[in-house]
Structure 1
C-alpha cells in the first residue's frame, strides 16, 4: 500500500504553547501532592493501629467503612449491629471504624453504658391530659380508621395519616394547618443522607435539630393572647417553661412531637407485621380486646391498664425493634474524644439478656419476670425523655391496636413473598415501605 498520499496531522499541537519548565514544575508538584495526599490518607487509616485499638475491615477512601450506609444500600443499625458482633467475637471491649476520615468507636462491653437510668422528663404527664387525649381519639379517629382499613385502602398511608392526626390531638395541633410543614420537616430531620454523615465527622454536636419555629410560636402566642387553657402537651410545656424563652419551648415541643410521631409509626408497623405472622399471638390480642370492649363502654387511660397482654405485645415489639436502635454520642476513651456508636439492637437481641431473642414472644413481659437493669432501652440509655416516649408511644400504639382489632383482623397478603427489610433511608429503625398487610372484618 502506498502511503505517499496520506496526510498526517501534527499531534499535540498545544504543547507548542506550553513552557517546558512550567510543565515540568507542574508535573513535579502534582506528583508530590499525590504522594503527600496518599501518605496522609495512610496515616489517618492507621490511627487505630497506632492507638492499639482493634479495627474492623480495611477502610476505603472516601467513605471509610460506611460506604454501604451512606449509599443507602444497608441500614445504619444493621451495619453497627454486625460490627458489634464481629468485635464481640474477638473479645474486644470496643472496636474502631472510619466514617469518611474520622475514627469512630463501636461500644461492645455493657460496662460502657452511658446511663442506665434516664434523667427526669422535661414535663410531667397528668391524668387530665391523658384522658382528654384518649377521649378525643375515641370520638374522632377510631371509627374512620376502621372504615378506611376495611375498604382496602393503602394500609401504610392510612396508618401514618391517622397517627399524625392522633399525635396532633395529643399535643393540641390542628393537623390540617401543619401537615405540609410537619411532613417536610420530618424528612429533613430523619433522612439518612450523605450530608448527615458528613456533619457527624465535623461537628461535636450530633443532634440533627430541624424545626419550624414560626408554626409553633403562632400556636403558643395565640393561646397566651386569648388565655386559652387546653389539656394537652402544649399546655403542659407552656406551664413548665413559663419563665423560659419561647424559642426553648418550640424546640422541645417539636423534637418531642417529631420523635413520638416517628417512633409510634415504626412501632405500630412492626407490631402489625409480627401479629400478621403469628396467628396464635394475634388471637390472644383480639380476644383480650373483645373482652375489654364488652366490659368498658368508654375508654380511659385508667382502664387501658387492663390490656395487659396487648401492653406486653407492644413492649416485645419495642424490644425486638427498638426505635433508637443505635445510640450515637461523644465519649472519652483512652484520654481521647471519640464519636461512639452503641447498638441497642444488639443489646436487645443478645441471648445472654433474652432467651431466643430472635423470636417474637410477648410472654417475656406478660409475666412478672425481672430483667437485668439496662437491657431494655428502646429509646436509648441517655435520652432524658425516655420514660415519656415509653408512655406516649405505647399509649398511641395501644389505642390504634384497640381500634383495629375490635372489628378487624390483619394478615399478610396471599401470594406475596415476604421480603421484610429495614428502611435504609431513615435514621430511626423503621420497616421498608410496603409490609403487604391486609385487613379483614372479623366475622
Structure 2
C-alpha cells in the first residue's frame, strides 16, 4: 500500500503543479502599433474620407508614423515617415513584397495578372522581366525617341493653331492626348485618338477605373456586407468599366493577331510594339508556363493605362505650379532657351543639361504625387517594425503624400521650391531616398520611371521653349484652383486652361 500511497501523493502534486502553471503561466502579449478607437464591425472605416491620404495624414498626426487601423476585420498598417517606410521597403522588403487581394484590382486587372497588382512570386518575376526587357529597357526607350519627338511636334503645332485663332489652350486635354498617343504607338502599335470618339471614350474608362481603384470596396473588409455595393452602384460601375476596357483590349489584340496571320510576325525588334512582343512570347511559350490572352490584356492595360494616367497628371501639375510661380517659370525658360540656342526644337540630347527643369519635376512629384498612397502591400509573416509586432496578413498603406511633406525631412515643406533639389541634386526617385519615393521603392518599385520622365521632360521643355504662358484671367497666381480629383490618381479637378504667346528669338 505504501508505494501506491506515495505514487498517489506524487500524482496529486504533479496535477496541482500543472494546474498552477497553466493558470499562472506568463502570457506573451504582442505589442501592436498605436491605434485610434474603432467602432464595432466597421472598425476605422468611418474615418476615411473621399481623399484617403488626407484622412490618414490627420490620424497620423495624432497616433504617429506607424499606426494600426482596422478596416472591418482587416488589420491595416499606415506608414507616414521615411524611417518607417525604410523598414517596410528596404529592411523587410521581401516580407512586404506581396499584394492583398482587393476586388476592384482583381476585376480591372483580370484577377491581378498584371505587373503592379499580381502576388509576389514566379509569375510576377517573369512578367516584370518581359515588361522591363521589351518596353522599358534603356535600349527600347531610346528606340522610341522618334515617336516622342513626332508626338511632341504635333502637340506644338496644335497649340500654334489655337494661338493663331486667339483661343486659350486646354492644357489638360493637350497633355492627355500627347501621353495617350505616345503610349498607344509604342505599346499598341498605333494611335487610337484619330477615330472620333476613340480617345475620349478610353479616357473616360481610364478615369472611372482610377476612381474605382481609389475607393473602398466594403466586401473586402466586411465580407457579409458585400451586398451593399449592389445597391450603391459600385458593382454596376465596376462591371461596366471592366467590360468597356476588356472590349477595347480585345479589339487591340484581335487586330494584331489578324495582322500577324496575314503578314507574318514583325521581325525587326525596333518595329515591334508591345502587343507584338506578348503575342510572340505566347506563341513560343518560353516562360515555363503559358501566357494566355487574359494575361496579355492585363499586362497591356497595366503598361498603357497606368503610363498614360500618371504621365499626363505629372505634366498637368508641373504646368499648374509654373503658372502659379511665374518667376520660377521664367528661370526654367531661361535655362532651356540658353541651351537650345538657335535650334528650332528641343531634342532629347538636351535633356540631361536641364538641371532646373529636372528640379521642377522632382518638386512637383513631392508636392503633387500622382499616386499619394502607394499601392498596398501585405505581410507574409510576423515581423517587428520599430519595436512593434506586425502580424502576418497585415495590409500596409504607405502614405507618400505625408512623407513628402514631413518637416523632419523638408524645409518649408508646404512651399513649391525646386531649388531644394539643386542644393541637394543627389536626391532621386529611384527608391534610395525614402523621404522621396513617388514611384515606390524595393522590389515593387515602378519599372517605368525612365520612360515616363523622358516623355515628361521633352514635352515640358518644348512647351516652355516655344511659348510664354499666362493665366487667362486676372486672378492672382496664388489663388489659382489646385483642387484635387478623387480616385487612386490625383489629377487637377478642373481643367488647366492657359494662354500661350509664341516666343521669337
Common fold, TM-score beyond 0.5? yes
Asked if the contact 2:213/2:488 (under 8 Å) is kept, the reply is no
Asked if the contact 2:77/2:396 (under 8 Å) is kept, the reply is yes
Distance 1:304 1:240 in 2: 34
Distance 1:57 1:418 in 2: 38
CA distances 1:370-405 after superposition (whole Å, capped 9, x unpaired): 3463222112235746242x2222222222212322
Distance 2:272 2:445 in 1: 20
TM-score (norm 2): 0.65
Query: What is the match of residue 201 of structure 1?
Result: 221
Query: Per the alignment, in what secondary structure is the counterpart of residue 191 of structure 1?
Result: helix
Which moves more between the two structures, 52-61 or 406-415?
52-61
Distance 2:161 2:209 in 1: 32
Out of 375, 382, 385, which is 2:435 matched to? Answer: 375
Query: Per the alignment, in what secondary structure is the counterpart of residue 337 of structure 1?
Result: coil
Asked if the contact 2:56/2:399 (under 8 Å) is kept, the reply is yes
Query: What is the match of residue 63 of structure 2?
Result: 87
Shift of 1:268: 1.1
Q: 1:125 to 1:368 in 2, by over 3 A?
A: same
Out of 136, 143, 157, which is 2:150 matched to? Answer: 136
Asked if the contact 2:168/2:499 (under 8 Å) is kept, the reply is yes
Out of 397, 404, 409, which is 1:353 matched to? Answer: 409
Query: What is the match of residue 13 of structure 1?
Result: none
Q: 1:184 to 1:283 in 2, by over 3 A?
A: closer
Query: What is the match of residue 249 of structure 1?
Result: 296
Asked if the contact 1:422/1:429 (under 8 Å) is kept, the reply is yes
Distance 1:233 1:367 in 2: 39
CA distances 1:275-312 after superposition (whole Å, capped 9, x unpaired): 11112210011122323443444554333323222122
Distance 1:396 1:195 in 2: 29
Asked if the contact 1:106/1:340 (under 8 Å) is kept, the reply is yes
Shift of 1:58: 4.5
Q: 1:97 to 1:395 in 2, by over 3 A?
A: same
Query: What is the match of residue 168 of structure 1?
Result: 184
In the alignment, does 2:434 pair up with 1:420? Answer: no
Q: 1:320 to 1:232 in 2, by over 3 A?
A: farther
Out of 131, 148, 151, which is 2:167 matched to? Answer: 151
Q: 1:352 to 1:219 in 2, by over 3 A?
A: farther
Out of 307, 311, 317, which is 2:354 matched to? Answer: 307
In the alignment, does 2:248 pair up with 1:215? Answer: no
CA distances 1:87-132 after superposition (whole Å, capped 9, x unpaired): 22xxxx6222233554422124234323489987632242542322
Query: Per the alignment, in what secondary structure is the counterpart of residue 288 of structure 1?
Result: helix
In the alignment, does 2:494 pair up with 1:433? Answer: yes
In the alignment, does 2:153 pair up with 1:97? Answer: no
When the two chains are superposed, the root-mean-square deviation of aligned CA atoms in Å is 3.5
Mind listing any 5+ residue stretches in structure 2 that lack a counterpart?
1-28, 98-124, 224-237, 383-389
Asked if the contact 1:322/1:377 (under 8 Å) is kept, the reply is no
Asked if the contact 1:105/1:339 (under 8 Å) is kept, the reply is yes
TM-score (norm 1): 0.73
Asked if the contact 1:114/1:382 (under 8 Å) is kept, the reply is yes
Q: 1:61 to 1:419 in 2, by over 3 A?
A: farther
Asked if the contact 1:411/1:439 (under 8 Å) is kept, the reply is yes
Asked if the contact 2:347/2:458 (under 8 Å) is kept, the reply is no
In the alignment, does 2:457 pair up with 1:398? Answer: yes
Q: 1:370 to 1:238 in 2, by over 3 A?
A: same
Which moves more between the two structures, 309-318 or 157-166?
157-166
Asked if the contact 1:353/1:375 (under 8 Å) is kept, the reply is yes
Distance 1:198 1:383 in 2: 29
Which moves more between the two structures, 56-65 or 377-386?
56-65
Shift of 1:174: 2.1
Distance 2:86 2:213 in 1: 32
Asked if the contact 2:170/2:495 (under 8 Å) is kept, the reply is no
Q: 1:358 to 1:441 in 2, by over 3 A?
A: same
Mind listing any 5+ residue stretches in structure 1 that lack a counterpart?
1-48
Which moves more between the two structures, 316-325 or 227-236?
227-236
Query: What is the match of residue 396 of structure 2?
Result: 340
Query: Per the alignment, in what secondary structure is the counterpart of residue 326 of structure 1?
Result: coil
Query: What is the match of residue 114 of structure 1?
Result: 89
Q: How many residues align?
A: 381
Asked if the contact 1:131/1:300 (under 8 Å) is kept, the reply is no
Distance 2:422 2:277 in 1: 32
Query: What is the match of residue 52 of structure 2?
Result: 76
Q: 1:299 to 1:87 in 2, by over 3 A?
A: same
Shift of 1:363: 2.4
Which moves more between the two structures, 296-305 or 109-118?
109-118
Query: What is the match of residue 386 of structure 1?
Result: 446
